[in-house]
Amino acid sequence: MLRSDGEENKRLSQLLREVAEQSDDVVSIGDIVEHFGQRALGAVLFLFCIFNLFPWPPGGTTITGIPLLLVAAQVAVGVRRVWLPRAILARGVDEALFKRGLAKVLPWLERLERISRPRLGWLFGPVGDRVIGLVVVALSLVIVLPITGGNLLPALAATVLAVSMVQRDGVLALLGYALVAVSAAVLAFFAHLIIDAAHQAWAWLRARAP
C-alpha cells in the first residue's frame, strides 16, 4: 500500500513521483487517492485529468473518463472530500503505462508549479470552484465518448483548470477556460463536418434509390 504520510506540504508533482516509485506491478486508483490523503478535492480532480492525457488505446478514455466525471460532479456541488465506488477504487493501471504517462506530464506540471502563484482569487471560492467543476463535468462527457484523439483538448483543458484550482492561480484558470473555448470550437467544427457528410450520403442514397 502506498504511504500517505506528510503529503500536505508536498507539491502535486512530488506526490505523483512517489506514487510511481512506491507502486507494484499495478497502480490502483484507491491507493493513489489514499496517497493524496486529505488534499483538496482539486488535487484528486487533477489526478483523474492526467489519466485522460495518457496514450490509451481507442476507447480507453471511456473508462478513465468516468472517475473524472464523478469527481468533477462532486466539485460542482461543493463536496470537500472525494467519494468513489469501490469498483472504481479497485481498478488499476499498469505500472509501466503509468510511469510512461507521468514522464510526459510531470515536466509540464513542474514548470507550472514554478511559475504559478495565487492570483485573481475572485475566480475561485465557493462559486468559482463549482463553476470549474461544472465545466469539467461537461468536458468529461466529451472525454468518455469513444472518439479516437477527441479527448486530448478537453482533457488538457480540464487538467489546466484542475491545476489552477489547486494553485489558486487565476491566470491558469483563464488559460483553462480559453482551452475550453478552443475545444468547443474544434468539436463543433468536426461535428459539422460529420453531419454534413451524413446529409450528403443520405442525399446520394436517395438519388439512387429505385
Give the C-alpha separation, 113 to 22, whole Å.
23
C-beta of residue 106 within 8 angstroms of C-beta of residue 14: no
- Residues of the chain scoring pLDDT < 50: 1-7
- pTM confidence score: 0.78
Residue range 59-85, pLDDT digits in tens: 667 777 888 898 899 989 988 777 878
Give the C-alpha separation, 205 to 209, whole Å.
6
pLDDT score, position 139: 92
